[in-house]
Structure 1
């Protein structure tokens, strides 16, 4: 067995776990509007249990009816017990252990409902005269009782443990943190007073669960970006109080949703892997408690080292199990090259959760997320020869899926390497994991004996030669080069050529275009001590980035001194300057080089589509060949088409 430390058992009170891996509470939008468990949610959890995970926690489960938002799991009434029991039973039947995360959302509920916002102190809603009042003593007592009642329901539903969520700005964290808690009664002031609400909740939970049932607690290591916030020393002192009140295990997270520290809750690729482990190590050492490390742990060797070195007793592996539900089994069997790794893009998990357009979370690397039953791969009884044009992530996803279903994909790529735009994106600062993932997809296709033909553009003549049963066009996009006077000058290049290393730019550089690619090129060039100015037509840069990646990119722009000019149109490029129009005035920006990064356009598929139509060959267009978008769209369309063939 590989990674013996990670896959060693652990006993906590009466609970025995087969390994040290926790699948954590993550928002899914898979509950019903009223907060009931769905079959979709059951399938989602069972897939990770079958994949070898040691302990699965539900997503946040609301304990208090008046303050529980819609589409969030609920446990504030006995009517929720049957659904929660069905989930626990399914996890047990698949060989896993189940926990409920007990939650009261505080200000988080404000985004989803009007009433029942439970916070320690009055907060004025920005831009209004409305003040959200701090909780009364009566309300505090009511919520404390609700935690106890919810714990009783978790026991009745057959769960193996419960977790008290005391982090991330939710009401327990808000009461504990002096940044939020300005009370002058027995629930405010000293650390002991600020901890009072949490300790009452913990005791209420403990009184309603068996002696041999473990109580986990999710915390933040310390407050980030908050004036007068919690220190790690205060958190350690509180954890010692919590241990006396009945907490067994500390799940050490980080972040809050009131500031840019939200980036630590669902950390994007910009943050280092394992960025919060040192905090877990210190808290473990100074409290003597069983501790779980959290934060961009997406590799089994990394996780095993954390356990082996005594930095933590267990690890949260969350998004890595979204990307690959079989992560645990593959790691335990030593098949690490087969693990589909999370790349911290946040496109499907966080962006998908906050987007009203997306019905539930998904994953760029795993389009079957949230569709586990529907997307279970079925072998074909009519194998087809399928010609795929394009070896980017869309083409590779299609090829791998077709091959696993028993078809015969032939993947043709015009360039001399696989990975396409996603591999190119991985050349930008902090995104090497994306390049590695694109390369790994190509290696997986080779291991599974997909017929791969590099330096082979698909033409009508090739289609005629191959005679496929169906064709998939995944030929991607190319940079837009707008019709600007001077764009043909020798010191002008485009973002793709810069990232690919086919061109260089130095000195005073103007980047025309402030979307994702433009900013990444700006950062890339700034590493060479160049002076960078980004010109963007819209009213802000980074409009096409997900929120958490945007936080990180904007911070990096500031740290690197990259200047941005918004609401400005590039109207001419001269030999030593760029002319822009802003506020109905023109001005010149002196420069030595210009990089165009105004977006991408689909490569034309017209000729191939017409050929296929004339010869009655079913033809599918996917990814950027349809319209230049995110990689999430490309893999989703590839997965759908390859399952339909």
Structure 2
């Protein structure tokens, strides 16, 4: 199955068993010492065993003064033993290993405030790199390549994209130097080509050199054009680059959305760029950009658009993705939904230790979260069939317990199913339904239209009760909130209420803005009112960019700093900066958040029958689906450890 996807590929002395590349995604698994540890090894080995063809080890610093903590470094010889331990583990598991040679430029400052920041030319208070520093960095790239060979890597990848230093030199939108390293294209290409020469000169002849490159610069005045990228790739090939890894995005503009593309962007959005670059350079090319289904990957390869495909976050969500594709077990895949909650939003938060995944709570904890059959099977009554309840039921069943999943409505999925009704989020609805089907295939006992009551708990007498009953929409305590022309966002997205005409949405967070988009798509003229100074404030940056762009394209009128004081037939009244305001409307839709449902009766009934009791997900506190699946998975895993 998928013969092209699982056909071998050879470049120089490296032969891959298939065309699937696990890209160099930043994980923050390394500690402050920037060294390889067991966590990183376990992460890579799990995906090698899962069938990936090439594993590229992420953003490894070549230059010590600019090497951020919690990211790997290859800038000194002391890092070689740990890297060798990693390559040995990848090879023992049957994979091939590459390492991404990286100097972070401006982006490094966002990862570690203590590092040296190197940029081509002055940018505000940050001075441009000196010629002496440039020579040092070039030398560092060469020495890092030699270390990579000693550490046993099968290939290296030169990172020349995403605002990192080599890309910043190449881009006319960033490089404003006036010497021979700035200005015309030939000058801007000079520094990254020097880096490539240094790398190639320090690699064995049989060791391939890959290059990650942006297809062009998005939203960046004076930035790289696709034609310039083609020309640079031709020059890079003359200096020894063998394979192009064609990405997209930059951190200076809204182009950031392309670096870790959210659900809002279509699958395969960058493939046509990669295909053109492949055609015009003649170089083997890796396609990148939300390729998370095997059918798409196979089609792209069959059509000769690219030679290999990056399947990254899909392998975060399911480390067995490749094996399941090859064996035709597509219904068993836990598909990435592009939510960005764990792989980008978490990565960007300083307080979060490392990346996580909504679909895979074991990410970064592969060893400790291995599922072993229980020696003490228990009956667990689960109240609520949203993602927390389904995750708990699936994990419990895989461990050998007997979960009874009860859902008060006629279908599983909860608010994740509802979220899939918002524009561009169909994949979430699909994932919610797939979780339900997975639970059924595993043999989970599922009872629909069955709310968990104290009587049910006392009748079943389970060993444990998991409260996953979720949250309900908040209703503001303002006059008029109970009028017939007022609805809540859940009823609107669920299709139970269908507002028309002029609609005012109260609440400018994630749910409010997606509800506003939903209504605008159905022909409503929408005004969104947000009490705070900013709308979409609770979204991660890539999703926020996409939603904000859609808001403006849809003609939605977002108004901030408005406190709603009353709703009357035909208008919403409020106060803004001490002055009264009003907004005409046919309907008002409330989308100001949710509060946990009261589970006190369930807790009391559990105590009466001696059952363990756990409150998970939104039933504990209304948050993200990422929190719900993590808590449910951990509760199931910890069941045997409870008294």
TM class, shorter-length = over 0.9
Partner of 1:11: 10
Q: CA deviation at 1:172?
A: 0.4
Partner of 1:57: 56
Partner of 1:230: 224
2:190 alignment partner, one of 193, 196, 216: 196
Partner of 1:595: 589
Partner of 1:134: 128
Q: CA deviation at 1:424?
A: 0.4
Deviations 1:331-371 (A, max 9, x none): 00001111100000000010111112211110000000000
Deviates more, 1:463-472 or 1:245-254: 463-472
Deviates more, 1:541-550 or 1:413-422: 541-550
Q: Work out the CA distance in 1 between the residues paired with 2:116 and 2:595.
A: 48
User: RMSD between aligned alpha carbons?
Assistant: 0.8
Q: Work out the CA distance in 1 between the residues paired with 2:94 and 2:556.
A: 53
Aligned pairs for 1:1-400 within 5 A: 2-111=1-110, 112-124=112-124, 130=125, 132-400=126-394
In the alignment, does 2:498 pair up with 1:520?
no
Deviations 1:531-563 (A, max 9, x none): 111111111111111111111111111111111
Q: Work out the CA distance in 2 between the residues paired with 1:546 and 1:174.
A: 25
Question: How many residues matched?
Answer: 638
SS in 2 for 1:31: coil
Q: CA deviation at 1:70?
A: 1.4
SS in 2 for 1:224: coil
SS in 2 for 1:106: coil
Q: CA deviation at 1:116?
A: 2.5
Deviates more, 1:183-192 or 1:244-253: 183-192
Q: Work out the CA distance in 1 between the residues paired with 2:572 and 2:388.
A: 37
Aligned pairs for 1:496-645 within 5 A: 496-645=490-639
Q: CA deviation at 1:615?
A: 2.4
Partner of 1:427: 421
**Structure 1 residue ranges (4+ consecutive) displaced by more than 2 angstroms after TM superposition:** 113-116
Q: CA deviation at 1:616?
A: 1.6
SS in 1 for 2:435: helix
SS in 1 for 2:305: coil
Partner of 1:127: none
Q: Work out the CA distance in 1 between the residues paired with 2:296 and 2:176.
A: 41
Q: Work out the CA distance in 1 between the residues paired with 2:38 and 2:308.
A: 29
Q: CA deviation at 1:114?
A: 4.3
Q: CA deviation at 1:110?
A: 2.1
Deviates more, 1:420-429 or 1:177-186: 177-186
Q: CA deviation at 1:479?
A: 0.6
Q: Work out the CA distance in 2 between the residues paired with 1:383 and 1:415.
A: 28
SS in 2 for 1:110: helix
Q: CA deviation at 1:115?
A: 5.0
Q: Work out the CA distance in 2 between the residues paired with 1:114 and 1:9.
A: 44
Q: Work out the CA distance in 2 between the residues paired with 1:612 and 1:68.
A: 52
State the TM-score, normalizing by the size of structure 1. Answer: 0.98
Deviations 1:71-110 (A, max 9, x none): 1110010000001111111000100000010000111122
Does the Cα contact within 8 Å between 2:463 and 2:610 map onto a contact in 1?
A: no
Partner of 2:445: 451
Structure 1 unpaired stretches of 5+: 125-129
Does the Cα contact within 8 Å between 2:458 and 2:605 map onto a contact in 1?
A: no
Q: CA deviation at 1:275?
A: 0.4
Structure 2 unpaired stretches of 5+: none
Deviates more, 1:295-304 or 1:539-548: 539-548
Q: Work out the CA distance in 1 between the residues paired with 2:317 and 2:249.
A: 23
Partner of 1:408: 402
